[in-house]
Each structure stands twice: as structure tokens, then as C-alpha cells.
Amino acid sequence: MKPRKTKAKKSDLDESQHHAIKEKPYITKEIETSITLLESPESGLVLEALLFLSKYADIQRNNLIFLHSRGLMPKLLALLDHNICIVRLSLRLLSQLLALEAAQLELNQQKFDERVLKIAGFYTGHKDPHVKEFAILILAAFAKLGRAHILLAEAGLISAVLKTVKTPESDTILNSSLELFSKFIEMEQVRGDLPTEKDFHLDLFIQHLNTSEACFRTILVIFEKITYFSDDHLLNRLKECQIVEHMFDIIMDPSHAEHTQTCLNIVWHCMGNEITRTYFVTTLEFLKFCQWVKNCPPEVGLICARIFLELAKIDSIKQLLFDLSIEDTILSFFKSDDKQVLNVTCDSVCFMSKHKYCCEKIVTPIVVKKLLTILGRQNDVYDPDNETALSTLYYLSRRDSRTVHMVRAFDGVEILMRYLRKKLPQDSYRKLLEIVNMFVTNNQLQKVILSPDLYEIILTQTLSKFVEICKRSLEIMINCLGVEEFRNYFLLNHGSRVIVDKLATSTDEETIRLLVIFVHNALIFEKLANDFVLRKILLVLKKIPEGVKYRNPLIQRVINLVFNMCLPVKFFETGRLELMDKLHERFYVITGPWSEPFPFLEVLEIRRMSTINTIYVVDDCGHHKTDTKEAHDCFSIQRQSITESALCSSSIISISSDQMKCAINYGRLSHDPFLPKYFSRVEKLTSGVSRLPEKIQILAKFVADCLCGPTEKGSISDKLHTFKLHIECIKEKLGTSMIPIGYLRLGFHCERALLFKALADHVYIPATLVKGKSKLYWNEVALIQSEKKAKVLRMFVVDLMDNVGQLLPVGSRECNVYCDIL
């Protein structure tokens, strides 16, 4: 029998005989028998079965799978109330089973929570080191299943973990305890209670970094989670432990290269809390890190760049960063080809350039050239439009004027023009337009960028639905007004219509303000002013809400400028010419009711239109050419003034009483040969008169004599009939309804008031021309009178109809009767 016993011993399960189990057909039955024996009430049998199963499980992983498939786990959990030997083997085998995912899912069931807490109790209170070791291995595995909060029901578990960290019994127990703590630290409740734990000292965790590689890795994970959740009380303790400095040391240690990313994550998380954000900047470790970063591995370049971006955002340390030359480290990231790294670097440059001296150091040809190179990139998956580089160039251009000169030196204007044609987001396009505006406002660089292409783009963008883009385009156009090439392009491409239409539809007050500024500045250029008047800018300006006009006084100023430039429009719109409004050539008045937009003489002449309403024209007001050579003519867009030679070539018709022959430009506005003679006659009549009232009376009688008709004493009805025949006769002879005022030999309020105004302006008599609500016309003159030893200015209406030459005080009863004012 002894040989047989010896032979049995040789066939015992051991790792040198792995193949034996597979080859023997009865092994499956023995394993199933052993699993069944675990339910035996006899401890010896249970212990022997556990030993057999444990040896079988040690052979290979497939054996664990087989054991789990035979329902081993519930039986092991049921043995936790037995003696220490059984408990020790049960926990050992259970910890092995938890290497299987299926076993983990089975243990994660709620029905086993009581047994799991029993294991937690072993960890916190059992004295056997092996039981404690297997228990913590099980707990660490269970905590990874997502239900670690169940373990908190075991009182003192956190304290036990911290006590283990303080005085570890073995590296295995320490590492498993750290893994369990790593899961606990994710719970807000645990993080909140940690400060009350007497054994909680983060410096112990830092000391254990040197314990083992497994502990090193787990502790870094713990620090990563603590900094991620960013609880102030925990970060204060990490700051005391100089966590960032320790991470820098690990990062720069080549032997820990595999942990570089985790350590950088910890530093990055620290940047997110004010407590740990900047405290390390003055340390030697940080300075060494700055040098290390300049040649850091490409795979960690992005997070390193982001760390320096966070530092660059902090205004309070910019001077310190400048003193430490941190901008050199930031600029070193431009060596990367990674688009994300380049974009983060651009953002850092933007923030650092807020500091004056940093900006001066950053704006170099190398940096500007790199930005232009980035802008030249195409088809990038990340930031395909290179908006970040464009934004950086924008801020550098605003903060240092040298930037735009460098852009020009590196042929950056072509790049800017290419981007102007692209569809960029609103903010990026706005910044691009502002860069362009910097070129336009720089006398040295203006010629480089101004071109028809630019004019086309900015004129088109004026109609953009984005308010900011529209405003920036208007600013460029305002600055381009002084360039003749732009003005010609603007006229040829109907720019006035674009501006007027935009002004008519815009509701943004800032946009309206810029549009009005553009119109205001354009009015000094004759052709532009004429074009705006023809585009009915005045009607649009008048429709602007009164509140907007009140907040933007320039609107009314532009209206006044248009009126002063074009007195016919002013009189048509307001019904009044003031004392200082002097009639220029081709001033005209439309008689009778007129509900259509204001008609311009040039339009009527070009289209050979003759209106039903009679139009009286005061032409050749400035027959002294030397005085009016520079006078502004708001109706000179399509034709020049008729020259004397042209007049001589016109048909000759005698219409005056003395058979004087004059030129008739049939169908168009004819030259007025009579008005200059009126001017000469009035000059002679008033040359020896010094008192203004007497001059006014002489002028009034002269007007009345000129327009009294053939019979001065005829009745009103007879004169009215004669007047209508007279007007129709002139229209027939001239071939148009535009009648020069000198052709008239009969007239009433309108005709006499208009002639009086023309003659008064010529002999320097301040006079107004007013159209009342009842369609009557009159003139007011200003006289200085003495009242109670004081000089006062009084206004009088000149009677040109009844008591010719009489001055009627404005507001008096006889004045109101004359003016038909009720």
C-alpha cells in the first residue's frame, strides 16, 4: 500500500503537472464533487475541498472560468462565517474569481451586499494579515464595479484605508487600499468628510510615490481625481504639499516618461482653481519646466501649451511672467505642426500681448510670418478657416502698429484679400475688416491694399445682415472717401443707392450713425453729393425716427447741408428760404400742388419731360463769373451749363416789347437774357440809396412794374385770365413748362416774390422766400430798429401786390391778411 500512497503523492495537483488534469477524464467529476462538499457541515471536508479547488484555480485562467460556471461564488460567500482557515481560503479563491468579468457582474448583485460588507468588516477589524490582504483585494475589485458607495455602510472603512496608508502592512495591502481610496475619492460625501479624518495626510501619499510602481501609478490617479473635482479644502492641502512642484519633477524625470501625461493632467487641473493656479510660478521647478517644455515630446505639446495659456490669461502675473521670459516658452510652441497646439499658442500670444512690454517683444518678423503661414494653411480638419491665427493677427495689429508693416513685408495683403472673399463667421470677418481698415487709415500702406476688388467687397458687405460686419465696412468706406479711385468706383456701381437703401431699412442706431457720417463726408464731393440728392437721400433722412435724430444731431446737420447745397429741394420740402440762403444758378420753384417726389431739372431735360405744373427758373443769378466760379451746383451730373456759343446757335424768337431777340433752347431750359438786365437796372436804381427801407421800396416797385402786365389798372379776373394766356404762350414758345423768371411780364404773389428774392440777393438785401399754407408766396426782410434805447432786429413782409413797397410787421393783422394767415 505504501507504493500506492507514494504514487498518489506524485500525482497531487501542482503547477508542474498542468497537463495531468486535462488528460484525466475523471477530473471534472472531482471538481464538481469538491464544489458540492463546500456545503458540508464538516469543516475538514470543506477545508480539503477548498484546498483542492484553490490548487486547481492556480493552474490556468480557464480553470477559473470552469469553477465560476459551476456556481462556486455563492458557496464561497456562504463560508465567510467559518473558521479562519476556511475564511482565508475562501477569500483567496474569491479574489481570484473576481479576475473574471462574469464573476464581477455576479458579485455586483444586490443580494450579495451583506456578504460584501462582511468582507469589508474583515478589512477593518480582522487581525490576520492574510485575511486582510484578500479582503482588500476583493473590496478594490468590487469598488470598480460602480457601487462603491455600498461599502460606506461599513463604519470605519475610510479610517482603515487611511490608517493603512499611514502604516502599511505590505505593499499589496497598501496598493489595494489606495485603489479602493481612488474609488472613494470620486464620492462627494467622502471628499467632504476627509478633513475630519485624523489620519488623512496627503504628504503620506506623496511619500508613498517611492514605494512601488503600482502604488506610484495609483497615487497619481488619486491626485488626478482630487484636482479634477477641485475641492478647495483638498487643494489647499495639496498646495501645502507642493503638489505641482512634485509633478514637475516627475514630468522632467526620463524614468517616469510613461506617467508624463497623468502628471500634466494634474497640473492642468490645478490651473482651474485659484488656490493652486499660480502659487508655483516663482519656484525653481517651474523655471526648469519652462525649459523642458521647449523640447517636450509632441504628444504632450497640446496640454503643455494649454497650461501656459491659462497662465497667460491671468493679468495679475503678467509682469512676473515677462520678468521670467515666459513669452519665449510660449513662442517655442510655434515650432509644432499640430494645428491645435498652434491655435492654443496663438491664444496665449493674444493674452500676453496685453502687456505692453510683452507685446513689443512678441511682435517680431518671425511671429508675424508664422501667423501668415498658419493663415496660408488649407483643408485642416480643426479650425479650417484659421480663425484663431486671424484673431491673433488682429490683436497684435491693434496693440502694435509695426504688425501691419510686417504683414505688408511678408506679402500678407494677398492673404487678407483672399480671406475677404471667404465666408467666415461674423466675429472673424469683423476682425479681418478691422485689420484692413488699419491699412486704409495708414498713409504709407493705403496704396498697397486699395483696389477695385476691395471696393467691391466692402460695398457688398455694407448690405450684410450682420450688424458688426456692416459697420466695419462702412468705417472702411468712410476712410476711403478721400481716394478718387474709390469715389469713381462708388459712382459707377451705384454706391449711393446702396447707402440710401441701407439707411432706409436699418434699425441699428450705430449703423445709422455710420451711414450718416459717410453721407456727411461725401457731400463735400460734388458728384457724390449730386448722386445722393438724386437718390432721394433727403426723404430717407426725414423718415428717421425723431428719437434717433435727437440722439444723433448729425442727421439734422446733413439735412441742412443738403438743403443748403440744393435750395430748390429745401424750398420744396420746407417752403422757406432764409435770409442767408442766396439763390444760385438754376434755382427753381414748382407751382401748384405736387404729390410726387421732387423733380430734378436734369432728369426732366434728359427725358424731355414737360410737367403739368409750371416751373419757374431763376438762372444766371451769378452773372459775375469771378464770384461764383467755385459755387456748388447740385444739378451738374449729366450736363454742363449752357455756354454762350450754344445760345447763339439756338433759334431766335422775339418776345419782348422792344423786339429784343433771345435764344430759345426748345424743349429744354432756355437761357434767360432778361434777368441780367434786371440786375443791372436794379444796381443803378439802388446805387445812390443808403437806407435799407428805401432800397426795399425801390426794389418792390421795380418788381411790380416788371410784372404788372400790359394794363396796370385791369381787374383781378382780367389779369388772371391774361396771366394764364401769358404762361401758356411762353410754354408754347419754349416747348417746355420750365420758364425762366425773366420771360414773365405778368405775375402775382409767387412770381413777384421769386423775382424779388433774386434781385434782393443780387443787391445784398437780406430777404426770405416763403410759401404759405394757402399757397401764397411772400418775402420777409430784416431791419434793425431802435426801441427804448436798444437796437432790435425786426422782420417785415414786403407788400408786392396792394400797397407796393409797404413793410408789414410780421405777426401784425395787416401782415396776416396779406399772407392769408388766419
Per-residue pLDDT reduced to its tens digit, 17-29 = 444 444 443 377 8
User: Where residue 625 falls among pLDDT bands split at 50, 70, 90?
Assistant: very low
User: Which candidate, 506, 511, 535, places its Cα nearest to that of 523?
Assistant: 535
Predicted pLDDT of residue 713 = 66
Neighbours of 541 (CB within 10 A): 22
User: Where residue 613 falls among pLDDT bands split at 50, 70, 90?
Assistant: confident
Distance CA 329, CA 454 (A): 38
User: Which candidate, 353, 337, 276, places its Cα nearest to that of 307?
Assistant: 276
Neighbours of 369 (CB within 10 A): 16
Predicted pLDDT of residue 23 = 40
Helices 426-440 + 387-399 axis angle, to 10: 40
Distance CA 797, CA 816 (A): 10
Poorest-pLDDT segment among 66-80, 409-423, 424-438, 714-728 = 714-728
Distance CA 599, CA 596 (A): 8
Chain segment 381-431, per-residue pLDDT in tens: 889 999 999 999 999 999 999 999 999 999 999 999 999 999 999 999 999
**Residue 814: all three cell numbers together:** 395787416
Chain segment 449-489, per-residue pLDDT in tens: 999 999 999 999 999 999 999 999 999 999 999 999 999 99
Mean pLDDT of 631-656: 34
What's the alpha-carbon Rg for the chain, to the nearest Å?
50
User: Where residue 300 falls among pLDDT bands split at 50, 70, 90?
Assistant: very high
Mean pLDDT of 443-448: 92
Percent of all residues in the chain with a pLDDT value above 90, rounded to a whole number: 68
Mean pLDDT of 374-379: 91
DSSP letter at 716? H
Mean pLDDT of 771-793: 87
Predicted pLDDT of residue 22 = 45
Query: CA geometry: angle at 102 spanning 96 and 107, to 5°?
Result: 75
Chain segment 658-678, per-residue pLDDT in tens: 434 446 888 888 888 899 999
Predicted pLDDT of residue 406 = 96
Is pLDDT above 60 for 642? Answer: no
User: Which candidate, 178, 230, 183, places its Cα nearest to that of 204?
Assistant: 178
In terms of phi and psi (left: phi > 0; alpha: psi -120 to 50; beta: otherwise), the region of 82 is beta
Cα–Cα distances (Å) from 365 to 293, 356, 389, in that order, read: 23, 18, 15
Predicted pLDDT of residue 663 = 65
In sign, the C-alpha dihedral spanning 724, 729, 730, 736 is: positive
Q: What is the average pLDDT score of the chain? A: 87
Neighbours of 356 (CB within 10 A): 12
Distance CA 822, CA 811 (A): 11
Mean pLDDT of 646-652: 30
Is residue 72 within 8 A of residue 35, CB to CB? The reply is yes
- At 311, which amino acid appears? L
Mean pLDDT of 494-511: 94
Predicted pLDDT of residue 660 = 41
